[in-house]
Structure 1
Amino acid sequence: MDLMEMFFIFLGAVVVLYYAVKLLLFSRILFPKLWFPLSKTFFTSMGEWAVVTGASEGIGRAYALALAERGMNVVIMSRTRIRLDMVAKEIGEATGQTVKVITTDFVNENVFSEIEDQLKDLNVGILVNNVGMLPGVVPSRYLDCEDLDQTITKVVNCNVKTLVKMCKIILPGMDKRGKGLIVNISSGIASIPFPLYTLYAASKIFVERFSQGLQAEYKNKGIIIQAVAPFGVSTRMTSYQQTNTVTLSAENFVKSSLQYIRAGDRTNGSISHTVLGWILQHIPLKIFHADLLLCSLQAYVKSQMKSKPKISKSSASAAALENQIYL
């Protein structure tokens, strides 16, 4: 056997081993309860309270309810008092846990000192940074965004500044106690450069890199910090798409994502979204960035909006305030 033949045998063995390891790692996603088991007291062991931003509906509401069902008292935060009060009543009646409401608008500049004052006496063991906003309902090119200067400020304040400020408020207590859990909601579309969602996707890349860096810094302190990057979840942000294998209800997505808490510093939160992320990353960008595909995406979103049932004038006015989708 000559040297060249030995080299190719060795190379083949390395390739087989590489893909065997990748297959093993992927199999962990298929069986999260086996690979990433959580005790019944896992969540309550982190502390007495969970704080969830953007909790008036959708994914945030689902996280608040799920954590309350697991024995946590919850603080729910958003800008709409009426919705928050309704959610607080629902969670309280369903779980018997205490629910505290904080009304705030995260697109504003100076809201965090007041939030810190309201949280300072609470033993916060879990923080879910869920609040986020899209620049507009219909995906569009960067320069086509309405009121672009204001939109930039709002998106950065809501999607980026809120994340780091809430960690600044909550993390010191976790560091002192040597335990805690922070879940930061990113987005599957941040997996690749995503035209028409450029500003939003870029803000979610920040969420992931910040989370991963913070986890590296505080992992040895007993704190778990994870970015969760979902694709389709049926919420107002996605115009309440019909649920299916890929588009999950908020409740089902959160139930799934909580099984992956120990799966690493970034997860897609479900099997179907993990597979979708893998597919997306293997589509050549030249194809994905083609004008025909982008125009089709815009047309699809517009058609979905038109197909929704018509709403009353008062409801339409309320929805208009949410055109820059903010939960």
Structure 2
Amino acid sequence: MALGELIFTLLGFCVILFCGVRLAHLLMMLSPKVWYPLPENFFTSKGKWAVITGGSDGIGKAYAQELARRGLNVVIISRTKEKLDGVAREIELKTEAKVRAIAADFTKDDIYRDIEENIEGLDIGLLVNNVGILPTQLPCILLETANLEEKINQVINCNVKTMVKMCHIVLPGMVERGRGIVLNVSSGIAKIPCPTYALYAASKAFVERFSQGLLAEYRSSGILIQSVSPFGVSTTMTGHPKPDLITFTAEEFVRNSLMYLKTGEQTYGSVRHSILGWVIQAIPTWVLRSEAFHQHFQEYVKRRVCS
């Protein structure tokens, strides 16, 4: 066999193998309870408490409610004390969980000592780094962002620094006990160049890379670390779009995503979002960067938010 034929044969084999692995992974995700089963006491075996940032609304609130139902006490941290207290009362009425509410504005710098003092001594088994903000709800190019200097600081503080600082606070206890879970909420758009959401997408790409590195550092300590990268979830931040084939309610998304904790360092949280992620990543980069794509994407988001 000529060298050229051998190279093309090997290349074809590699492509077939890659597609086969992807297909097998997708089929396994269709039955997570079979392929990635979690024992009934899985969460409580990691500790007695879960800490959730951005826990007063949306995905964070849904994590707090679901983890409380699964036997964990929860610490919810967010900016608005009244909303936190309301969520705390709701969880305590519906479950047997204890709830601590800590008011903190994650766009600021001087909040972490108070958080650390309020959770000191707790047997924390699960940390959900969920809090995040968009610089603008509707997509726009960087220099057209209102109050850009302020938004840069807010996005980096909230989406990037908070995750690192919360890991710094919570990880030592997990390492000492030899158990724990860290879930870092990213976004599907972190997978691709995303003009008109460049700052937000870049901050979420940091979440994924940081999570991958952290897992490599602490896997041997018994710590499970995973980034969760949803696409459409109906929340206040996204303008509450109507749920559909690719848009989940926050509660649906959280229930789905928790089933995939054992699938690896990164998950989209659902089969539908996984398929969407694979399709989007197959689109040539030049298409994603084109002006026509920007315009169609902006129009799509505006329709979803304003409808």
TM > 0.5 fold call: yes
TM-score by length of 2: 0.95
Once the two structures are TM-superposed, the CA of residue 47 in structure 1 deviates from its matched residue by 0.4
Aligned equivalents of 2:102, 2:263: Cα separation in 1: 31
> Which residue is equivalent to 1:70?
70
> Which residue is equivalent to 2:238?
238
> Which residue is equivalent to 1:302?
302
> Which residue is equivalent to 1:111?
111
> Which residue is equivalent to 2:44?
44
> Which residue is equivalent to 1:317?
none
> Which residue is equivalent to 1:197?
197
> Which residue is equivalent to 1:316?
none
Contact 2:238/2:305 (8 A) holds in 1? no
Structure 1 stretches of at least 4 aligned residues deviating more than 4 Å after TM superposition: 2-6, 8-15
The one-character-per-residue Cα deviations of 1:205-230 (angstroms, maximum 9, x if unpaired) are 11000001000010111100000000
SS in 1 for 2:160: helix
SS in 1 for 2:237: helix
Which residue type is aligned with residue 59 of structure 2? Answer: I
Q: Which moved more, 1:101-110 or 1:295-304?
A: 295-304
Distance 1:259 1:135, change over 3 A: same
SS in 2 for 1:45: coil
Query: Counterparts in 2 of 1:154-165, with a 5 A limit?
Result: 154-165=154-165
SS in 2 for 1:184: strand
Once the two structures are TM-superposed, the CA of residue 297 in structure 1 deviates from its matched residue by 2.5
Query: Counterparts in 2 of 1:15-94, with a 5 A limit?
Result: 15-94=15-94
> Which residue is equivalent to 2:135?
135
Once the two structures are TM-superposed, the CA of residue 283 in structure 1 deviates from its matched residue by 1.1
Distance 1:6 1:284, change over 3 A: closer
TM-score by length of 1: 0.89
Which residue type is aligned with residue 252 of structure 1? Answer: E
Once the two structures are TM-superposed, the CA of residue 37 in structure 1 deviates from its matched residue by 0.8
Alignment size in residue pairs: 306
The one-character-per-residue Cα deviations of 1:86-108 (angstroms, maximum 9, x if unpaired) are 11111111112111100000111
Greater C-alpha Rg: 1
Aligned equivalents of 1:149, 1:82: Cα separation in 2: 29
SS in 2 for 1:182: strand
Aligned equivalents of 2:11, 2:111: Cα separation in 1: 58
Aligned equivalents of 1:119, 1:297: Cα separation in 2: 42
Once the two structures are TM-superposed, the CA of residue 284 in structure 1 deviates from its matched residue by 1.6
Q: Which moved more, 1:171-180 or 1:290-299?
A: 290-299
Distance 1:133 1:13, change over 3 A: closer
Aligned equivalents of 1:306, 1:258: Cα separation in 2: 30
User: Unmatched 5+ residue regions in structure 2?
Assistant: none
Aligned equivalents of 2:222, 2:85: Cα separation in 1: 34
The one-character-per-residue Cα deviations of 1:101-143 (angstroms, maximum 9, x if unpaired) are 0000011111001100111121111000000000012111011
Identity %: 50
Query: Counterparts in 2 of 1:158-177, with a 5 A limit?
Result: 158-177=158-177
Aligned equivalents of 2:196, 2:156: Cα separation in 1: 17
Aligned equivalents of 2:19, 2:280: Cα separation in 1: 19
Aligned equivalents of 1:144, 1:94: Cα separation in 2: 45
Instruction: Determine if the alignment matches structure 1 residue 278 to structure 2 residue 261.
Output: no
Aligned equivalents of 1:18, 1:138: Cα separation in 2: 37
> Which residue is equivalent to 1:318?
none
Aligned equivalents of 2:231, 2:18: Cα separation in 1: 28
> Which residue is equivalent to 2:269?
269
> Which residue is equivalent to 1:95?
95
Which residue type is aligned with residue 82 of structure 2? Answer: I
Aligned equivalents of 1:5, 1:155: Cα separation in 2: 50
Aligned equivalents of 2:200, 2:15: Cα separation in 1: 37
Aligned equivalents of 2:180, 2:61: Cα separation in 1: 20
Once the two structures are TM-superposed, the CA of residue 299 in structure 1 deviates from its matched residue by 3.0
SS in 2 for 1:238: coil
Once the two structures are TM-superposed, the CA of residue 305 in structure 1 deviates from its matched residue by 4.1
Q: CA RMSD in A?
A: 1.7
